[in-house]
Amino acid sequence: MKNNKKKMLKVSKTFSEECSALDGSSLEKLVIESENAIINIRNMQKDDAALQEAKAIVKDLSSGYRDAIKMEREKIDFLLEKINLNN
């Protein structure tokens, strides 16, 4: 019940009030409309050239960090394996 109250706080009061007067079928239609809206928003996000360029820049800039983290994890795995062999 607590989780449902938190979700109720995230939608506008007007929307919540409008929905309280609807029947199950109308609510289901709104769910479908919202799911379709999400699909459309995600498609617009994929088609946003500036966003895609920014993602590519972040990916390029962070590759060195990812590689360093991967190397440290490999060291940890090696050391843990060595510790297990010694015990």
pLDDT at residue number 80: 95
Count of Cβ atoms closer than 10 Å to residue 26 Cβ: 12
Answer yes or no: do 69 and 30 share one domain.
no
Q: What does the pLDDT read at residue 6? A: 66
Same domain, 66 and 25: no
Report the amino acid identity of residue 55. Answer: K
Are 4 and 24 in a shared domain? yes
Q: Which residues of the chain have pLDDT under 70?
A: 1-8
- Claim to verify: residue 23 and residue 8 sit in the same structural domain: yes
Domain limits at 62? Answer: 49-87
| 22/44 Cα distance (integer angstroms) | 30
54 and 13 belong to one structural domain = no
Does residue 65 sit in the same domain as residue 53? yes
pLDDT of residue 1: 44
- Supply the pLDDT for residue 40: 98
- What's the structural domain count of the chain? 2
Tell me: do 9 and 43 sit in the same domain: yes
